[in-house]
Amino acid sequence: MKSLYQFIISSFQFLQPVLKFLSPKMRLFVEGRTNWKTKLQAQVSEHDQVIWFHAASLGEYEQAVPVIVALKQTHPNYKIAVSFFSPSGYEVKKKDSKLDIVTYLPLDTRKNAREFLDILNPGVAFFIKYEIWPNLMDVLSTRQIKSYLISGLFRPEQLYFRPMGKFMAEALSRFDHLFVQNKESLSLLKNHGFDQASISGDTRYDRVSAQLGMDNQLSFMDDFTASGQLTVVFGSTWPEDLSIALDAINKAPKDIRIVIAPHQINATQIQKLKKDIRKKVICYSEMESQELQDYEVLIVDTIGLLTKIYSYANIAYVGGGMGSSGLHNILEPAAFGIPILIGKHYDKFPEAEMLRRLGGVFSVDSENEFEEVFNKFITDKTFREKSGQICGHFVNAEAGATQKIMSVISF
């Protein structure tokens, strides 16, 4: 299987000039890695001391942030490097002034791994959740560079635990320590001989808890919500999510303020959404000098504002659960003590299942189900506030992963 893996990675690298025409995202994926060595060398000097974090995308990067903040305090002379696999992470963070080095991770060939580490020369490496690359782990181990997995999540069906996945199990064994989210992951690892593991919890709880102490004010949200009784935020939505919510949105009382923040900013889809909404609707990009209090629905056609927008919500719907893209981050609204609706697909998200059992999150799979829960949240203040309190208390109780991680790592 390892030979097949090497063949697939090498073939993908060879075919990149053609693959970039498949989609705009693939073009960014390919072109972002063009001349990656030159781009990385421009950010690193020979005498730099570097702490390296690798994340698949923006969501995984958010899991790294609490540890990055902690290490900046304990190791102020080190540069923080962050690499991304996906354009959706790199494109957002490539100019972030809080990060010293931002790069794409080159494809996982042995040659790329050696050259990447030759340039970056990190003192320690942190990988987030699922990001485990066999060739890279081999080279890190050979060079005796310590490596840690943060917020790992494991299931029996994963390749590490199957006969054909021996090469992936070997990559997993290269880590100095595996910090996992729950006892199920730890038991699975221990049963397969991975003893360098412990439960830290999920660093996202620390990340979203810290947001409570930040300035979350947005002047346009102050204006938009000024004359409303309740604010409902639909965050990171896909068309499949809105298909079950649209009828309820159109039937909502006029004094309800509704914010829709699509996961992908697609002009065609946004124009269609505007036409489908039978209320006074405006896009963020159209606001300028408009009186936002005159509108009932605000479509946020930009990125980077959703976390702060959640702080204004009384009710939240978090997207991704009605399609195959995967449920987005429910912990951001949960931290603010907001009751949450999600779609039907959430089985790979333990926090969603736990909050569903507790009564803070409600899963719906049809227009009728959505409308029933949505209307109950709107009309029943006691029910709404109790569900929100469950979410807020849950996040507060689960925080603390960063402290556990910091007590173990050394380099």
CA dist 180 and 25 (Å) reads 30
Q: Minimal CA–CA distance to 172: which of 190, 199, 408?
A: 190
pLDDT in tens, 40-83: 999 999 899 999 999 999 889 999 999 999 999 999 999 999 99
Evaluate if pTM is beyond 0.75.
Answer: yes
pLDDT in tens, 193-228: 999 999 999 999 999 999 999 999 999 999 999 987
CA dist 283 and 318 (Å) reads 19
| Cβ-contact 141, 174 below 8 angstroms | yes
CA dist 236 and 261 (Å) reads 6
Phi, psi angle pair for 54, to nearest 5°: -120, 130
Within a domain: residue 148? yes
Tell whether 256 and 362 lie within a shared domain.
yes
DSSP label at residue 299: E
CA dist 362 and 409 (Å) reads 38
Tell whether 163 and 32 lie within a shared domain.
yes
pLDDT at position 31: 85
pLDDT in tens, 143-179: 999 999 999 999 999 999 998 889 999 999 999 999 9
**Number of structural domains, the chain?**
2
Tell whether 195 and 232 lie within a shared domain.
no
Tell whether 248 and 160 lie within a shared domain.
no
Tell whether 165 and 271 lie within a shared domain.
no
Range of the domain at 92: 2-201
Tell whether 271 and 168 lie within a shared domain.
no
First to last CA, the chain: 33
Tell whether 282 and 313 lie within a shared domain.
yes
Contacts with 383 (C-beta within 8 Å, 6 or more apart), sequence order: 376, 377
Within a domain: residue 293? yes
Within a domain: residue 68? yes
Active-site residues: which are they? 60
Question: CATH code at 280?
Answer: 3.40.50.2000
End position of a domain, from candidates 166, 201, 236: 201
Within a domain: residue 20? yes
pLDDT at position 283: 96
Tell whether 173 and 120 lie within a shared domain.
yes
> Which residue in the block uniquely carries the two structure tokens 């000098």?
289
pLDDT in tens, 83-93: 999 998 999 89
Q: Between the CA of residue 236 and those of 152, 240, 299, 326, what are the distances in Å?
A: 23, 11, 11, 11
Tell whether 10 and 105 lie within a shared domain.
yes
Question: CATH code at 79?
Answer: 3.40.50.11720
| Cβ-contact 181, 202 below 8 angstroms | yes
